[in-house]
Amino acid sequence: MKKLENKIAIITGGARGMGATNAKLFVEEGAKVVITDILSQEGEKLAEILGAHCLFIKHDVSSEDRWNYVVSETEKKFGPVNILVNNAGITFNKSLETTTLDEYERLMRINATGVFLGMKSVLPSMRKAGKGSIINISSIAGMVGFPNALAYVASKYAVRGMTKAAALELAAEGIRVNSVHPGLIETPMIMNDEMGPMIDAISEGIPMKRTAKPDEVSKLVLFLASDDASYSTGSEFIIDGGLIAQ
């Protein structure tokens, strides 16, 4: 039997990168998946490739109304939600002094408020399903600090903390909440000219001497989404090639 047979999942930031890799693996393992993103063209193309068990919805994760719409449409199309992967996120490389309030608040709305709204919005649906798994994608920046990334670090620490609080609240209802903390993953968000200097500097210190492929993280997300992780909640799962173990 496939690991996610008869499961219904929502994956934010699912049009490309790690979110898209998650969606492909989930469908392969038997799930029906709703991918959401602001990147309509890429999201619709991926949903077409993945077939009848995948639906794309354009979605600003910082909008409560849009979250309610996503959950409602997921239930109409596939049924009550079993799995939520809060994957959507942005970053930028700027010093504390040069980061504007607007930049800081925009990043926090997407990376932190979006996670809060996702967890809150999906709860009634997971209660209908009888149990659920919420996987919040944080970062090693939710475990340690990095220069020129204050807003991003703040948001990922927030995700880590919200995960623990939500896990304690929801454990008795059979809803598990865990956070995943990737290191350097080869995704469009970080593999670009703006992030290049910081990525190069960090890469030199990775004990495994390489960055990770998105599918390496997706296999961990799959584990947490599945019943194989039935006794895991409120925990951090680090996948960074040993970077912060030093």
User: Which residues carry out catalysis?
Assistant: 152
Residue (of 40, 240, 37, 21) closest to 139 by Cα position: 240
| Residue 133 token pair | 């798994």
Alpha-helix residue ranges (DSSP H) falling in the chain? 17-28, 40-50, 64-77, 101-108, 114-129, 150-170, 196-203, 214-225
Q: How far apart are CA 56 and CA 171, in angstroms?
A: 30
| Residue 176 token pair | 């598990």
Residues 6+ apart with CB under 8 A from 169: none
Burial 149-186 (b: 16+ CB within 10 A, else e): bbbbbbbbbbbbebbbebbeebeeeebbbbbbbbbbbe
| Residue 111 token pair | 């990376």
Q: How far apart are CA 56 and CA 88, in angstroms?
A: 14
